[in-house]
A and B are shown apart, each in its own frame.
Chain A
Amino acid sequence: MLNQYLVLSAILFTIGTAGVFVRRNLITILLSIEIMLNAVNLTFVAFGRALGSADGQIIVFFVMTVAAAEAAVGLAIVITLFRHKESLNPDSFTLLKW
């Protein structure tokens, strides 16, 4: 059963990665990052179940905390960027590019 969970997790992680590449919208890119974090969480819980240990679930707890912090700061940055450029397209934020 572990294999199936790992493959599902890999599929979800790939969907998240593809989302970062394909979408041109900062909010959808942040959502894709959430998909990737959830794929990794599934791996942790599946391995914790296979090894009979609670450590996997505890790491998931910490990953969720980091995801919450990342979402809060990331969305604050998105709001500030939108205020400056009136756009959510990442190609329009080139101030730090040489």
Chain B
Amino acid sequence: MTETTLFYAFGAVAVVASLLVIAQRNPVYSVLLLIGSFGALSGLYVLLDAPFVAVIQIIVYAGAIMVLFLFVVMLLNAPHEDTEYDEHVHPLLRPGPMRFGAVLAIAFGVELVWALTRHIESGPFAGGAVSSVASIGTLLFTDYAFAFEVTSILILVAMMGAVVLARRD
């Protein structure tokens, strides 16, 4: 009962914050609202017996990635979106047809919801959740050891790529 209430509370916060993210013209507000949305998602992960994911959601996503976004937004000092459209802009890129894309996205969402709710029975979750950080760590360093090491190379390449791209030549 409490779990259901908490699910709807966190879900509502996540959806409303995400909607406001894409409704804002000022990217600084968008980033701050997205941090709120990630906090709600972290609460949902706690409800799903996944404390490890909940904690790295806060530390890595809200803490590191979003601060990186905020840093770039403030560094560029161009907070507001251009609202005026030039006459020479292609007709398909004007605001009207762009809204058509949003309609397509909503149709896609309805389709997803319909497909996802068709065949899965929706009882409460069964017991036996694997939630301890120790078991995840063991799995990560045994079955997924290769993927884990490749991840470090990915991070290294991304770091070098960012340095090379953003350097002033």
Residues of A within 8 A of B (CB): 1-8, 10-19, 21-25, 27-28, 30-32, 34-35, 38, 41-42, 45-46, 48-50, 52-55, 57-58, 60-62, 64-73, 75-80, 82-83, 86-89, 91
* Known contacts A45-B53, A49-B48, A60-B53; A80 and B166 CB within 8 A of each other: yes
* Residues A1 and B125 in contact, CB atoms below 8 Å apart: yes
- Assess the B136–A69 pair: CB atoms within 8 A: no
The main secondary structure of chain A at its interface with chain B is helix
- CA distance in complex: A64, B7 (Å): 23
B148 to chain A minimum Cβ distance, whole angstroms, is 8
Q: Shortest CB–CB separation between residue B164 and chain A, in angstroms?
A: 8
Q: How far is the CA of A1 from the CA of B75 in the complex (A)?
A: 43
Q: Which residue of A lies closest to B34 (CB)?
A: A31
Q: Which of A12, A28, A32 has the most CB of B within 10 A?
A: A28
What B residues does A77 contact at CB under 8 A? Answer: 165
Residue of B19, B22, B57, B78 with most chain A CB atoms under a 10 A cut-off: B22
Contact with A along B102-125 (1 / 0, CB 8 A): 101110110011001100101111
A32 interface neighbour in B22, B60, B73, Cβ under 8 Å: B22
The winner among A7, A23, A31, A48 for most chain B CB atoms within 10 A is A31
The complex places the Cα of A19 from the Cα of B102 at a distance, in Å, of 8
Residue of A nearest to B14 (CB): A12
